[in-house]
Structure 1
């Protein structure tokens, strides 16, 4: 292994280590953090959806309580019961009515109505001891003390008739009018009423909690002292807390005082976009491995012949030239400095290319002189002049003949022949050409010139625009059956980033996309009648002038017109 190879490999290894470190840090900032933010936003939206559903469910219970209280049957039976509380039949009728109302809404365990002057009346299903205790507790007293409005209780567990414990939530509300003053309490089976929401929460989040306005767990279960931690989170007043373990979403219901806490771990968040991370790692791993292997092979391939050639070429240079260039270096680059004089050979090659290019330009000049004057065009124009003369349209004869004269004068300038001409001169010549065609085919063609004064002085290859317009006239706008020419042609010449863009577009019959592509790459049938003849000449001249440094684009579709765009370097 040569010295240059060792140096190059060391540089590549250090470079790759730096890129790996920088790439890891950049990946976290550019890829991982935005992906995590996107995943967090997704869970935030899910959490907001669940809050809306919970809020809506509680609102329905509130409306359901109003429905019970304002029921005429309930009000009438409460009034009668207050007048004769010892009457068992009246108590039973009220209980029966409340029992029937329990079936109006799913998830209702029972209903109690309590007037201030008589004992409370329950629906026919006997309440549990826990539900009875609720009506003697602080929450119920607070509801009774309110002038109006109601509220939900803290959750509690109640025993069903079959002995199983269920989660129960109660809603109480006072109702007053000029005749009645009573409280309606609805006992709700929390699991049946909000089970769908809770299942959705449990499926989307790893941990979910509900807390009361007093920052206590809704059902009082303190799992391994988590209530204290949750209280600390709520006390921060933030709705979004990103911890080392994961993310907490802390939200309050929009209309009710319950607090929702949902937790999602970082592992789950990363799992959401883990497939993207895996694909990125595989891609970058394969890219780095392949590029490293490729660079090492290239270093070996390049430096080995360089070492050999540096000695062979140094001897050849010493025999032919006296010029020396010395670079103080202890590797093969120092040896290659002795081959500096090889630039003389490159210079000779460059001069040869200049001579070849000048020869090609001369050939193009002759090609231009031979192709600029179309005999058919001159003949047809003279026939037009003859026709106008017979019609005694002397002014038109002068116009057409003047236009033809200007075109011929421009095309046959041999004394000061130039390969390039200004945009202004090209536009001037093309206008005369269009003036002649208007007399021949009528004035149903409208040419729109989108050329600013800024580019009028720019130089473009001579006779570039007229063949494109001629193609638009006879192969785009001409009717194949009648020969009538009608439509619009748009000519745009602009400058962008030191390049000239020439576009000729028509709204004629167009062509298939496949044919347009063939014309663009030069695979057209030049022996057939069509656009290809003019385009091939333009492509050949542009190739002589610019080599590969130009672009010709053709876009078209049948019935939608054709656009030809030429992009070339601006002449200094």
Structure 2
């Protein structure tokens, strides 16, 4: 109910004009379509822009990792040069180096390490002896000693912490065995180069940008955290640091780049909010774009709606003028479409209604005149009936029963004819048969032993309604124009049967028959017979048949067709089918 009430309130705010409502509906449709299109386009382009930003950030992270890899390559070069230095080889071969030899070895290590600020110190493990190039800080490093008979492959260790008084250092070590140059399979010691993670942290801090901070990881261990700690807050969202450059998580994306040659990985987190913030200019762009498109469409739609509704306005004005009583109004529409056809139809309708009203006035005048004439004509039948009844009384006194029967038949025929004047257009088959029998009675007194009538009426159809004065004229036509001109007596058959939902009627005689051209003319209907009757003044067949055809067309319409079967010297048959009319019904 609420949406319906809201829609009605919105409709009440609009002026009651189709153009305004149509423009408002189309404008709302365009606004919705533009908004939806902009919304979908924004999300599509924002997604593309996010992916491009992630790719660029991943490339930057990779470049930073490559800088670390360059430092590692420098470390590898320093290590190889140091391992091949003759002074280091000689020191490792000396079983019990003295103080000066140890100082020279320490100085050698310091000289090599001074070329890179990331290198904190170095030491040489030789059997159970340890040589630092710096003063040993503590004994924490003892756990990293390797048994003499074990050769551990070169590599980086996990970060560890050493203490110097109250200070502590986080270091990472790169270790490699020292092999005898003469016998490469013989291990003569182990070289450890320690990396200062504070120096590495300061270098990474220089690469950090707002919302683009980096973290150095070793496996799942954080070596150098991000300044704000944002990278470490959601590390539990990923099971393991993979080699994939971009790893999506629920709240954003993790960018990773391994430092080749080390167990370390650079990691950076990009939250969705930060990525959307970098695409915020798209929101402004698409809002302005939507408004521009909407205004442009509104401008175009206003002209189109005005062009399309102008003929409707003209048609509405014409209808209002016609409704006010102006029956001569005409409208002029030239839109070359259905509206122009509608306008022409309206003009035709106005002219036709004007003609029908004029015709109705004339018909009303004629109807009133006919009603008056019928009222006058009812006076004469009463006088005729009284006169004929007097004849019957006189015939009875004279003992002439034939005159009595003939006058009674005439009275029955006259009464049946008056029923039509009283708007009784349909009657039962039994009643129509009684009229025919009365007519035949009269004609038998005139033409004794000249003809006989056979009634072939299907049982049960006596109360079926049929049009009045249809059968009697056909019987009269068969007697006078078929049997009377014939030499000798003749027979007439009236046949009525039911065929599905119709009455099949036949009036058949064995008289002289009709000419083929006259039979074909009768089948053409009342209009053709009337024209023939006017052309041939001496026509004797046309009067009754014209009346029958006109009555059939008036009462039943054009589907009722009078058929003629005739052969000269053998007889004629009139056949037609009528729709079944229930008692109390009509033919409409």
TM-score normalised by the shorter chain: which range applies?
0.3 to 0.5
Q: TM-score, normalised on structure 2? A: 0.46
Q: TM-score, normalised on structure 1? A: 0.47
Task: Answer with 1 or 2: which has the greater Rg.
Answer: 2
